[in-house]
């Protein structure tokens, strides 16, 4: 899967968030480190989502790309 992320250069390094996953963010000293960290954060976010929806009547819908 591909997710859009937003990078911001700050005084402390790089911050990065994934707007499609509310609350999913990370940081790093370099842009490369921040991107590697957000990949881990996205994987953890999706794993937590799967745990929260386990046993629920979950459906998927497909929408065309904008």
Task: Specify the 3-state DSSP secondary structure of 21.
Answer: coil
Give yes or no for residue 66 having a pLDDT over 90. Answer: no
pTM across the whole model: 0.85
Q: How does pLDDT run across 17-63, given as a tens digit for each residue?
A: 999 999 999 999 999 999 999 999 999 999 999 999 999 999 999 99
Domains of the chain by residue range? 6-49
pLDDT in tens, 9-26: 999 999 999 999 999 999
pLDDT at 65 over 90: no
Nearest to 37 by CA among 17, 64, 59: 17
């Amino acid at each position: 899967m591909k997710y859009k992320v937003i990078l911001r250069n700050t005084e402390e390094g790089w911050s990065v968030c994934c707007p499609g996953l509310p609350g999913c963010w990370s940081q790093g000293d370099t842009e490369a480190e921040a991107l590697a960290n957000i990949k881990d954060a996205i994987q953890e976010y999706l794993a937590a989502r799967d745990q929260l929806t386990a046993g629920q009547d979950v459906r998927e819908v497909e929408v065309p790309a904008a």
